[in-house]
Amino acid sequence: MSLWIYPGSFDPVTVGHMNIIERAASLSGRLIVAVLRNTGRSPIFTMEERLELLRLATSGIPGVTVESFGGLLAEYARLRGASAVVRGVRRASDYEYETQMALMNRRINPGMDTIFLPAEPAYAPLSSTVVRDVGMLGGDLTGLVPDAILDRVQKKLRAMN
């Protein structure tokens, strides 16, 4: 059994993220879903909301915990004793950006590696940005975010329009 970290903004968590979480947790045995604190972007969902939504969505998946992190991902992984970071890759442009991050992270922390999981084709067009846009314009988010958090996400985004 190993410990992996799945980092991201999760603003909010989507079914695409959930697919990566399930696959990564079953491969590693233990997975920390880590929400970035110090992002330059201003998130729509507060840190508390994003943690709570992730906890609700992942409560039935064995080996998964949810927490926040700040600073360098590679240092955080070292602190937690994680052997790998996992990232979902949807298209070629993701791969280019992710490779650069993976190489830099490995330079900072040679004790960890990055695992890329290809997104299932059904989830390739999905992102938190798309979910926010559709939700704010009153669209139905069924099938885009986990059922356990659908009402909360839908209500918050509709209220923002």
Residues at the contact surface with ligand PNS, assessed by CB under 6 A: 7-9, 36, 72-74, 101, 104-105
Question: Cα 136 from chain centroid?
Answer: 21
Report the residue number, 1 or 157, with the smaller CB distance to ligand PNS.
Answer: 157
- Give start and end residues of each alpha helix (H) in 86-149: 92-108, 128-136
Q: DSSP for 24-50?
A: HHHHHEEEEEEEESS-SS--SS-HHHH
Report the residue number, 74 or 89, with the smaller CB distance to ligand PNS.
Answer: 74
Q: How far is the CB of 17 from ligand PNS (least distance, A)?
A: 9
Report the residue number, 120 or 158, with the smaller CB distance to ligand PNS.
Answer: 120
Report the residue number, 101 or 134, with the smaller CB distance to ligand PNS.
Answer: 101
| 125: preceding bond cis by omega (within 30 degrees) | no
* Nearest residue to the partner ligand PNS, using Cβ: 8
Q: How far is the CB of 2 from ligand PNS (least distance, A)?
A: 19
Q: What are the angstrom distances between the C-alpha of 15 and each of 9, 38, 62?
A: 14, 24, 17
Q: How far is the CB of 29 from ligand PNS (least distance, A)?
A: 22
